[in-house]
Amino acid sequence: MDPQRQSPSPCSSRPSSPRSPCREALGYVGIDALLDQLKIKAMKMGFEFHIMVVGQSGLGKSTMVNTLFKSKLCKSTLPGLGVPTSQTLRLQSVTHVIEEKGVKLKLTVGLGSRPSWDPILGYINDQYERYLQEELLITRQHHIPDTRVHCCVYFVPPTGHCSLRPLDIEFLQRLCRTVNVVPVIARADSLTLEEREIFRHRIQHDLRTHSIDVYPQKCFDNDVNDRLLNSKIRERIPFAVVGADQEHMVNGRCVLGRKTKWGVVEVENMEHCEFLLLRDLLIRSHLQDLKDITHNIHYENYRVCRLNQSHVLPRGPGWVTLTAAPTCAPATPRPSKAHLQVHHKPDKEC
């Protein structure tokens, strides 16, 4: 048996079209019922999603999370003071179960400030390590709890007059190697429409110049439809967003928005901000794709790196013991064809 095994490449980890010719059945078989079976099973198990929101304090990270899921998931300000709570000043995660039309979503939200990337990357890698340790058990759980971070929303301060700062560039470069990153322009209502577009183009230029591959990545577009949809999204990234968790009356209708001296900034109005684009990307169109890329690419990077650092015990084929988790993330954003040395003991003849 060849002792070397190749880890799956990014292309092989994505679904591929079948080569076998499609044949029409002579009569009704019931294959279409598979969709109903999958739906029933998924409804019973529920779904898990872990999102992290990163940025400097005071940019409305907690409010944005509450706006995305229309729930009081995070406390944004102290009553009557309007100052950030301690939750936005340190890395902390909260978990809630949200149910809508019979669909249950176990949502984990991580909030982190931006003084250093070490706590953020350490938290992300800790979740990968926890999942890996569960996978390596001889007797594994029927369903391994998925606490891995599927998406990181990075808040860019609305400076307007300049592009990304060196700290933002370094932070994004490190994050993109480990997790799916979606940058947004926070508190976009502080910029005029012209300033917002200029600022967006400058950020896009910085992302290209410094090879920062944010989500959705071009190399993971599976077909023409994905390419067309994701190209439109990439043209608008970073989204200019405004968060608000209070409703106001505007022209006889109740809208979600933020009241100012000159009017109400409507969160769900595309003429005011691009919150709808962010919500559609994270929840309505790309949630499962975020989870797939996390499992097949980012987690696979971490898994290959850890197994390459491990020592194989002689107690059985494929039995692996791991040393202490590394403090750094894998150096490359996509897994190469790394070789894992795994020693197998010859099976005893019965």
pLDDT in tens, 159-170: 877 889 999 999
The percent of residues in the chain predicted with pLDDT above 70, rounded, is 77
Q: What is the mean pLDDT of residues 83-88?
A: 46
- 131, 149 Cβ separation under 8 angstroms: no
In this predicted structure, what is the pLDDT of residue 48? 94
| Single pTM value for the model | 0.79
- Specify the pLDDT at position 139: 86
Percentage of the chain with pLDDT > 90?
49
Residue 343 scores a pLDDT above 80: no
Q: Give the integer Cα–Cα distance in Å for 264 and 109.
A: 28
The yes-or-no verdict on residue 126 having pLDDT over 50 is yes
272-310 confidence digits (pLDDT tens): 999 999 999 999 999 999 999 999 999 999 999 998 887
Phi, psi of 307 (to 5 degrees): -70, -35
- Residue 77 near residue 84 (C-beta atoms within 8 A): yes
Task: Indicate if the pLDDT at residue 323 is higher than 90.
Answer: no
- pLDDT the model gives residue 102: 87
pLDDT band for position 347 (cuts 50, 70, 90): very low
Query: Mean pLDDT for the chain?
Result: 81
Q: What is the pLDDT of residues 204-253, one digit of tens each?
A: 999 999 999 999 999 999 889 999 999 999 999 999 999 988 888 888 88
What tokens were used for 112? 């982190």
Q: Which pLDDT band holds residue 115 (cuts at 50, 70, 90)?
A: low
Reference 130, options 141, 120, 110, 144; nearest CA is 144
Tokens of 21: 């010719």
Question: What pLDDT shows up at residue 336?
Answer: 39
Q: Residue 258: is its pLDDT beyond 60?
A: yes
Determine the 3-state secondary structure of 99 from DSSP: strand
Is the pLDDT at 320 greater than 70, yes or no? no
* Contacts (Cβ under 8 Å, ≥6 apart) of 230: 216, 218, 221
Burial, 275: exposed, middle or buried (Cβ in 10 Å; 0-12, 13-18, 19+)? buried
Instruction: Please tell me the predicted confidence (pLDDT) of residue 333.
Output: 47
Mean pLDDT lowest among 142-151, 207-216, 327-336: 327-336
Average pLDDT score over residue span 26-46: 89
- Whether residue 91 is predicted with pLDDT greater than 60 in this model: the reply is yes
Q: How far apart are CA 120 and CA 150, in angstroms?
A: 14
Of residues 319 and 70, more confidence is placed in 70
Q: What is the pLDDT of residue 344?
A: 42
Q: How confident is the model at residue 78 (pLDDT cuts 50, 70, 90)?
A: very low
